[in-house]
Amino acid sequence: MGNYLEQLGQLLPEVLLTTLAVVVLVWDLLKKGKDSHQLGYATIAGLAVIGWVLLGQWSRLGETGGALPDKVFGMVTIDRFGTFFKLFTVGSLMIVTLFVLFDRRERKEGIGEYFFLLLGAAIGIFFMVSTNNLLLLMLGLELLSLASYSLAGFHKGEKRSAEAALKYIVFGGLSAGVMLYGISLLYGLTGTIDLGVMGTGGVESFPVGLAAQFSLSPVPVAIAVVLVLAGFAYKVSVVPFHFWTPDVYEGAPTPVTTFLAVASKAAGFAVLLRFIGALFLVDGVQEAVAAYGDRIKLLLAIMAAVTMTLGNLSALRQPSLKRMLAYSSIAHAGYVLMGLAAMSAAGFSAAIFYLAAYYFMNLGAFGFLLFFEGITGRDDIESLKGMGWRYPVVGWAMVVFLVSLTGLPPTVGFYGKLLLFYEGVNAGLTWLVVIAALNAVVSLFYYFRVAKALFLTKPEEQASRQQPSLAGILAVLAVATVVTGLWNRPLQDWADDGPSSLGISAQDDR
């Protein structure tokens, strides 16, 4: 019993998050849907406590080399990599919850399920980013997905929201089936569902590990890995598994779209990083398995090039700001894939840094959309004419976010892209870096269509509807976007700790 409680104590953030979700659910039932704003503030307070606990865990892990030596209950790995993405999730959910409270188009009562579903999704993220066990990974992914399906269709009376949920469920179920089939193949080939054992080989030839399968035939392994990668690609909106993204982003409530674009996408990339790192890059991986990583490297590079190109070109002619940001998120998934394609610790670190940079600029961009939806009731770029002069704080904050999304100095987006380009060249992917640079130029055109509408067009007569609290949040995010671009060393150190805690060597010449 003592050992059980000791291990349970290692999962304190997960326990607290689950407790918070139950409290929110019961509170909403007792209140019968009344005073939903109180649940929102309680959710934020609970997430703040969990964030404080995670910061303490991060500090303690520094004393053990970045990771605990033993897995909790044989499945959960406690390391700085997972803790980073848990903190990322907590920070994202706090902002998203505030967006729900400030959403003028959302009803104020009877929305307690909103916060419960967000917390349920977070529980799934917490487990999926902290395990090498494919079964627990799949369970966490499905918990995240089920909550996301419900959130996408939260406005049951709206046709677009119902359509978004239906498409998300159908395509999500298909991708989950494909991924689960790939996992079953890996288990059948190796006799284990532990990624670390697959890469390094088993004890006394069982489980057999991937290297033994490569000596027989690499084809079954290739099929299994590609099927699993397809499931991840769907989750992070990588071409050709991106088709659900624009419709779901447009139909879902804007706070939900924000969650899907920031927290859910980052979690998907976290699991993809762990999957690739544990199989092909960690110290002790068998030589035949590490060599196979070069083929995965080329596949990831091709996917990155196609994804960023299609995302940017599709965003060029979008009249809806929401759909434009959806295609923008697809393009940025391509940029992050550059870091994975480098297949090195430094490349992974660059990908993690860019995801952190994406946190500030994308939360800000969707917050801007939420602000003006509450004023105009529309999400098209034409509705923004002259609004930058009428609401200067929000308008100039959006310009900062657009500059960062494009990758221009002095913002954190510039430094993030610079890191990715540098690691791409080091990995011998100069052709991919050239494509990415050209895509950054293309993105300049559609991002600054928004800036042009805000400041270079004649405003339409419209009543002023101030929302100072939301404007203040956007101003803080804009300042953070610039400050972390100029003073990026602390964030870089946090990003560097991720691959090292996974056991990936810092040498790039693997």
pLDDT attached to residue 88: 92
Sign of CA dihedral 276, 356, 63, 54: negative
- With residue 439 as reference, give the H or E element that holds it: helix 430-455
pLDDT attached to residue 91: 92
CA–CA gap between residue 210 and residue 185 (Å, rounded): 12
The length of the chain is 510
Question: Average pLDDT for residues 2-26, to the nearest whole number?
Answer: 86
What confidence tens digit (pLDDT) does each residue in 495-510 have? 888 888 887 876 544 4
Question: Among 42-46, 175-179, 390-394, 500-504, which stretch is predicted with the lowest mean pLDDT?
Answer: 500-504
- Judged against a pLDDT cut of 50, whether residue 153 lies above it is answered with yes
Burial per residue of 28-54, b for 16 or more beta-carbon CB atoms within 10 angstroms, e otherwise: beeeeeeebeebbebbbebbeebbebb
Reported as a pLDDT band with limits 50, 70 and 90, residue 15 is very high
Q: What share of the chain is helix, strand, coil (3-state, %, to 5)?
A: 80, 0, 20
pLDDT attached to residue 430: 92
**Residues near 240 by Cβ (< 8 Å), separated by ≥ 6?**
306
pLDDT attached to residue 464: 61
Tokens of 483: 């400050």
pLDDT attached to residue 461: 61
- Judged against a pLDDT cut of 60, whether residue 205 lies above it is answered with no
CA–CA gap between residue 86 and residue 267 (Å, rounded): 9
CA-closest candidate to residue 361, choices 403, 401, 408, 407: 401
pLDDT attached to residue 508: 45
Q: C-alpha distances in angstroms, 475 versus 370, 394, 396, 401, 469? A: 14, 7, 9, 10, 10
What confidence tens digit (pLDDT) does each residue in 448-488 have? 888 888 888 776 665 566 778 888 999 999 999 999 888 98
CA–CA gap between residue 120 and residue 454 (Å, rounded): 37
Q: Other C-beta atoms within 10 Å of 173: how many?
A: 13
Question: Average pLDDT for residues 437-446, to the nearest whole number?
Answer: 91
- How many helices and strands (H and E) does the chain possess? 22, 0
- With residue 179 as reference, give the H or E element that holds it: helix 159-190
pLDDT attached to residue 282: 79
Q: Is 504 helix (H, G, I), strand (E, B) or coil?
A: strand
Q: Other C-beta atoms within 10 Å of 184: how many?
A: 14
CB 387 within 8 A of CB 459: yes
Question: Average pLDDT for residues 156-164, to the nearest whole number?
Answer: 79
pLDDT attached to residue 436: 93
pLDDT attached to residue 510: 41
Question: Among 329-338, 382-391, 452-461, which stretch is predicted with the lowest mean pLDDT?
Answer: 452-461
pLDDT attached to residue 67: 76
pLDDT attached to residue 175: 87
- With residue 39 as reference, give the H or E element that holds it: helix 36-61
CB 242 within 8 A of CB 329: no
**282 φ, ψ (degrees, to nearest 5):** -65, 155
Tokens of 460: 């339409």
pLDDT attached to residue 509: 44
CA–CA gap between residue 346 and residue 206 (Å, rounded): 33
CA–CA gap between residue 484 and residue 311 (Å, rounded): 26
Cα angle 494, 495, 499 (rounded to 5 degrees) comes to 115
Which residue matches tokens 């990831």? 300
Percent share of the chain, pLDDT over 70: 95
Q: What is the mean pLDDT of the chain?
A: 86
pLDDT attached to residue 208: 65
Question: Among 63-77, 339-353, 413-427, which stretch is predicted with the lowest mean pLDDT?
Answer: 63-77
